[in-house]
Amino acid sequence: MELCSIASGSSGNCIMTGYDGCRLLIDAGISGKRIEQGLNSLGLKTSDMQGILVTHEHIDHISGLGVVARRYGLPIYATQGTIQAILNTKSVGKIDRELFHTVKANTPFSIGEMTIEPVEISHDAAEPVAYILRRDKKSVGVITDLGKYDDYMIEKIQGVNVLLLEANHDVNMLQLGPYPYPLKQRILGDKGHLSNELSGQLLGRVLHDGFQGVMLGHLSKENNYAKLAYETVKLEITVGENPYKGEDFPVYVAERSSVSKRIEVV
């Protein structure tokens, strides 16, 4: 199993994961051209993908979905609410309904040798989910776009080997920044986005001896810095009520507009 961010941030998200013989995209929130170029840099092609898992219908997660679907005919997996919202999003263009496959939160399904579990998230979208993928005893999770976490989320990602986890904003930067007040409240709310601090606290709740690394993703361009997210998350782990320190495992930060490190689960 491996995980690689093609792009991750408020302006567009696309993640590649899977194994030799069965690789998937999670979201297609950048142009089809950028997706192809990103995969080419990894020695892959868009046509190599076995499907696209869609988390929700916000444009930074589906802007390239129509182009990719029409060009390559890739299966699209999403909840019923998300599918309907995509079909009502004119900017993605027409997508053949036969390409859509409905998934349900907490109901695992299989693609190739992977078991994929959609996980409910708290976000202001139609029926949003995150995804956990397992093959043999290896697992990865892509957990972004959640305004809060709870015992349900902790239970779901407990034991995952590698996470791409949201660290969207620094609370002080957001509060003092130029965003209008209603937008600030949306981001800070329970259906908004996870801050650096909350990201580190959630991570501290799920660490285990088999944990192999985290990639911090979906960083805000206006309200965060890669170095700040990195240091804040590590500090929260170190000072948290867990036996681990921030230096005990690799912490990466996904690039906003370029391909990030390719992480292999060993």
Q: What tens digit of pLDDT does each residue of 103-131 get?
A: 999 999 999 999 999 999 999 999 999 99
pLDDT of residue 222: 94
pLDDT tens-place string over residues 199-234 = 999 999 999 999 999 999 999 999 999 999 999 999
In a domain, 117, yes or no: no
In a domain, 121, yes or no: no
In a domain, 32, yes or no: yes
Q: Identify the burial level of 123 via C-beta atoms within 10 angstroms of its C-beta, where 0-12 means exposed, 13-18 middle and 19 or more buried.
A: buried
Domain termination site, one of 87, 104, 121: 104
User: What is the number of other CB atoms lying within 10 angstroms of the CB of residue 118?
Assistant: 24
Q: Which domain holds residue 17?
A: 1-104
> HSE (CB half, 13 Å, CA atoms) of 95?
29
Pairing of strands 114-120, 76-79: unpaired
* Residues 173, 84 within the same domain: no
* Alpha-carbon span 254 to 7, nearest angstrom: 7
The gap between the terminal CA atoms of the chain, to the nearest Å, is: 8
* Residues 154, 100 within the same domain: no
Pairing of strands 138-143, 76-79: unpaired
Which amino acid is present at 66?
A: G
* Residues 93, 8 within the same domain: yes
Residues 6+ apart with CB under 8 A from 10: 60, 168, 218, 219, 220, 221, 222
Strands of the chain, DSSP E:
2-7, 14-19, 22-26, 49-53, 76-79, 100-103, 109-111, 114-120, 129-135, 138-143, 162-166, 213-217, 251-253, 263-264
Total domain count for the chain? 2
Domain termination site, one of 104, 134, 161: 104
* Residues 17, 90 within the same domain: yes
For the chain, give the number of residues: 266
- Three-state DSSP at 19 gives strand
In a domain, 141, yes or no: no
* Residues 155, 251 within the same domain: yes
pLDDT tens-place string over residues 136-149 = 999 999 999 999 99
In a domain, 182, yes or no: yes
Pairing of strands 114-120, 129-135: antiparallel
C-alpha angle 132/9/200, rounded to 5°? 60
pLDDT of residue 261: 92
Q: In the chain, what are the helix, strand and coil shares in percent, each to the nearest 5?
A: 30, 25, 40
Four-point Cα dihedral 28, 32, 33, 38, nearest 10: 30
* Residues 85, 164 within the same domain: no
* Alpha-carbon span 262 to 159, nearest angstrom: 21
In this prediction, the residues of the chain whose per-residue pLDDT falls under 70 are none
- Three-state DSSP at 239 gives helix
* Residues 182, 236 within the same domain: yes
Instruction: For 170-235, give the secondary structure using H, E and C.
Output: CHHHHHHCCCCHHHHHHHHCCCCCCEHHHHHHHHHHHCCCCCCEEEEECCCCCCCCHHHHHHHHHH
pLDDT of residue 10: 87
- We report the CATH number of the domain holding residue 231 as 3.60.15.10
In a domain, 132, yes or no: no
In a domain, 225, yes or no: yes
Domain termination site, one of 104, 129, 163: 104
In a domain, 84, yes or no: yes
For residue 256, give both structure tokens: 């906003």
